[in-house]
Structure 1
Amino acid sequence: MVKLAPLHPEQVTPFYSWLQDPEVIEYSLSAFQQLKTTAQIDQWFAATLVQAHTLNLGIYLAETNALIGYAGLTGISTTNHAGEYFIFLGEKTQWGKGLGTAVTKQILQLAFTEHQLNRVMLTVSEGNTGGLRAYAKAGFVVEGRLREAACRQGVFHDKIVMSVLKADWQRLGLVGC
């Protein structure tokens, strides 16, 4: 279905259209709401590729090698053995095909094996039902709610805090997914 591999500076082009589509960025990174020009997107992308304590991987369709988004971990703490998961599927034609769940499972595999993390958390907008389903399928559980933590189109909505622990992930048999 999909494979994960490093992103390269010349791969910024798809982000130009993705980040200009209000439907694509509705529940995404708040910074995406401010990026309006190709120069701004170029600057964000270049900074993203060199962020410390972050794993950024491109999401590629296995059969065509087409870039359809990116995912990874940010805020990786070697002291706390924890990080925060993120995913951005920019290619709308690939939504609803189970790719979000597949990518999430792959990132958790990397988090708990290669990066030796014990806990991976995320926040998801309460209206992002597809994301909530994908995260639950990958082993995340709800920890709490950040009330009115996001504002989109002048409307506040809650963010749901979810996490998965390495022991839960192992117990659920998601090892090797």
Structure 2
Amino acid sequence: MPSAAIQLLPLRIDQAAIFHRWLQEPEVILYSLNAFQQMDSPAKVSRWLEATLADPRCLNLGVYLTETQELIGHAGISGISTANQAGEYFILLGETQYWGQGIATEVTRQVVARGFAELGLNRIMLTVSEPNQGGVKAYLRAGFQLEGRLRQACFRNGRFHDKLVMSMLREEWGT
């Protein structure tokens, strides 16, 4: 999908209902934050979104379709450390009909660019569940490198699986 097809713009607290709908879909949250597994009410989602948007150490962006302004996802960088010039990338594409179209790769590239150019970060890392091969491929295409493995770090659907640690340094960005 061409980069012009999506825009990264601010999120609003009144979009909590959209997040709540996404979080009710098991395949959407399968490899996402543990907290998402417990957000079973609109009130819990609203409290989480409000706290997330208020976090000064987090770049939060909505992923919108340019043509319709429909919110289809959430991405950004959390745990931003100005001392270490580092943060952790995250993405959630809530609208499954847009999976597999290159959107995650494009969003990842755009968020990483902001992290390095606008936030002055030197390192952006992420963790991804190994079974999430679509995510792993998107991150590799966007320029992340495999850094390590957290063995049996995640428990989903009655089984443990490994999480992969990936990162990108400012000096590698754009190469």
Q: TM-score scaled to structure 2, two decimals?
A: 0.96
In the alignment, is residue 143 of structure 1 matched against residue 147 of structure 2? yes
Structure 2 unmatched ranges of 5 or more: none
Shift of 1:48: 1.1
Identify which of 50, 53, 60 aligns with 1:56.
60
Cα displacement string for residues 122-173 of structure 1 (whole angstroms, at most 9, x for unaligned residues): 0000001010011001100000000111111221110000000011114x1x
Paired residues in the alignment total 171
Question: What SS does the corresponding residue of 1:132 show, helix, strand or coil?
Answer: helix
Distance of 1:8 and 1:18 partners within structure 2: 16
Gaps of 5+ in 1: 173-177
Residue 52 of structure 1 and its aligned partner are, at CA, apart by 2.6
The CA deviation at 1:85 is 0.2
Q: Distance in 2 between matches of 1:111 and 1:41?
A: 26
1:45 counterpart (28, 49, 55): 49
Q: Deviations over 1:112-131 (max 9, x none)?
A: 10001110000000001010
Alignment of 1:7-46 (within 5 A): 7-46=11-50
Off by >2 Å, runs of 4+ in structure 1: none
Q: Which residue of 2 aligns with 1:116?
A: 120
- AA aligned to 1:42 is S
- Aligned to 1:115, the other structure's residue is in SS state coil
Secondary structure at 2:173 match in 1: helix
CA distance in 2, matches of 1:122, 1:13: 27
Q: Distance in 2 between matches of 1:155 and 1:52?
A: 35
1:175 paired residue number: none
Residue 134 of structure 1 pairs with residue 138 of structure 2: yes
Corresponding residue of 1:3: 7
Q: Distance in 2 between matches of 1:16 and 1:43?
A: 11
Does structure 1 retain, via aligned residues, the 8 Å contact 2:16–2:42? no
Q: Which residue of 1 aligns with 2:84?
A: 80
Structure 1 segment 154-173 matched on structure 2, within 5 A: 154-170=158-174, 172=175
CA shift, 1:99, in A, is: 0.2
Q: Equivalent residue of 2:69, what SS?
A: coil
Given that 2:105 and 2:142 are in contact with CA atoms closer than 8 Å, whether structure 1 keeps it comes out as yes
Residues in 1 aligned to 2:161 and 2:108: alpha-carbon distance in whole angstroms? 24
Q: Secondary structure of 1:12's partner?
A: helix
